[in-house]
């Protein structure tokens, strides 16, 4: 992966001047490269990584394994696009192995997730079966330790 992308992935709040210094590039080159990455879709957006346990103690996250029968000529894409459009769906991945699609869903309680699976997901044409797993605790997310204290410098406290 390009060094600039690696730096942005680690901390998208770095300024152009900081990125330029760290990547040994000019600020103009950094701006130009970022603009090109945004235009061609390499950079899809910028988000804060939130510790959901602190932000909303009632939030529930589920990982749902979905077995499907792919549609002729359209494969898995049509069903994946339908699932992506539902409220609360955070991610949809095509997987290898014993199931086809991995869906990450957030809700306000376990019942909301259960109703989504029972009434919306499992009733879709092509869905053969589902298996739902609930997130109990997040230790590390996208390289960031979630269950540790952070000091005033943003470093993990001893």
Count CB atoms within 10 A of the CB of residue 41: 7
Q: Which residues of 114-133 are buried (b: 16+ CB within 10 A; e: fewer)?
A: eebbeebbeeeebbeebebe
When pLDDT is cut at 50, 70 and 90, the band that residue 111 belongs to is: very high
What CATH number is given for 52-134 in this structure? 3.30.70.920
Are the CB atoms for 17 and 27 separated by under 8 Å? Answer: yes
Using one digit for the tens of pLDDT, what is the confidence trace for 53-96? 888 888 999 999 999 999 888 889 999 999 999 999 999 999 99
Q: What is the pTM of this model?
A: 0.81
- The residues near 76 (Cβ < 8 Å, ≥ 6 apart) are 68, 70, 94, 100, 101
Query: For the chain, which residues make up each domain, given as ranges?
Result: 3-40, 52-134
């Amino acid at each position: 992966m390009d060094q600039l992308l690696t730096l942005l992935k680690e901390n998208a709040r770095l300024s152009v001047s900081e990125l330029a210094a760290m990547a040994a590039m000019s600020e103009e080159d950094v701006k130009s490269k970022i603009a090109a990455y945004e235009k061609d879709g390499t950079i899809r957006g910028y988000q804060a990584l939130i510790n959901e346990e602190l932000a909303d103690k009632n939030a529930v996250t589920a990982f749902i394994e979905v077995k499907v029968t792919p549609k002729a000529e359209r494969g898995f894409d049509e069903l994946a696009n339908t699932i992506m459009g539902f409220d609360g769906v955070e991610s949809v991945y095509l997987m290898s192995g014993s199931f086809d699609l991995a869906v990450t869903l957030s809700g306000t309680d376990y019942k909301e997730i259960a109703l989504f699976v029972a009434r919306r997901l499992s009733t879709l044409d092509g869905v053969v079966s589902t298996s739902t797993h609930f997130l109990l605790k997040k230790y590390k997310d996208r390289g960031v330790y979630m269950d540790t204290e952070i000091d005033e410098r943003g470093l993990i406290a001893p």
